[in-house]
Amino acid sequence: MEAHLAPARAAGRGRVFLEPTEVSMEWLRAALEQDGYVADGDIVVAVYLALRLEKPLLVEGAPGVGKTEIAKVLARIFDTDLIRLQCYEGLDENKALYEWDYQKQLLRIQLLREQGAVPDESHLFSEEYLLERPLLKAIRAPKRPVLLIDEVDKCDPEFEAFLFEVLSDFSVSVPELGTMRARQIPVVVLTSNNERELSDGLRRRCVYLFIEYPSVEKELRIIRSRVPEAPARLAAEVARVVAFVRSMDLRKHPSIAETLDWTRALLALGATRVDDGLVGETASLLLKNREDLALLRKAVAAGGWVAEAFERHPAPPDEAAGAGRGNSGG
């Protein structure tokens, strides 16, 4: 880890006091690892370039591969606010940018009338009555925030076009107050599950990253990072079984979060190895769809399913060493 990171760690809170545009790739890699986010080289490079070039990062991939977590980790390692805009069909500019506090305005009008005064429209549409929504909040933030625009593929094309304009110059116009420009460009992370094709314009504006489901080796690293109390052999078997489950024709494959939940559930049951019976009994921790659950339990009930999983997905090279240690949390 680079020397200029040491003073922040020495403060005792493990926080970082650097601007996102100042970091090196080595520093970023170490910071992600220290926070527990297991990142391959392509993820580190894409995040680094988005930070240094001050461009939005567009992250695509299946649900549950760790797209949203990138924004959360960046907010933590830079000790800044995470501002989240959750996209959905029908989302419009008012809900994303700003609204006026009409209830407060009406109360003010009523009070002035009771006092015999004439309401001043310019005062009623001042900052006192302005309700900041995520986009405006990010633009006006005193410290560079992380702006997470989550599941952008769920919004309508019209809103996507508006979003492209905002991300192009990071300024918005409020007719009653004028143009507001960002004090500094936020760190922007957009996520997409590929439910709708995004426009070429928005893609060109961003640094692009596609995240696949993790390999057995990577998922094992994630388990050891997030569930360090799991014995090495059990953690490796979980990673191999989950990889086999994801190869099945399912409506929804297990996310990384569900892998971790399943690992913790096996620990709670006192399991040290994975077998067919255990998979059948705890399958609902991995799969949350009735048809998927029935398909997996039927396959497991036929016998030899875990053995086939191990055959299809060999043990990572360091499993034997990890099993010798007994626990990967050290």
Residue 212 Cα distances to 61, 161, 249, angstroms: 6, 27, 17
Cα torsion 324, 328, 329, 330 to 10°: value is: 50
Q: Based on C-alpha coordinates, what's the Rg of the chain?
A: 24
pLDDT at res. 40? 92
Interval 192-240: pLDDT, tens: 999 899 999 999 999 999 999 999 999 999 999 999 999 999 999 999 9
Per the listing, tokens 């527990």 go with 36
> 3-class DSSP state for residue 88?
coil
Rounded distance between C-alpha atoms, residue 216 and residue 238, angstroms:
9
> Is the distance from CB of 262 to CB of 282 less than 8 angstroms?
yes
Spell out, as residue ranges, where the chain has pLDDT lower than 50.
Answer: 1-16, 320-330
Phi/psi at 112 (nearest 5 deg)? -65, -40
- Residue 191 gets which letter from DSSP? E
Interval 147-196: pLDDT, tens: 999 999 999 999 999 999 899 888 888 878 878 888 889 999 999 999 89
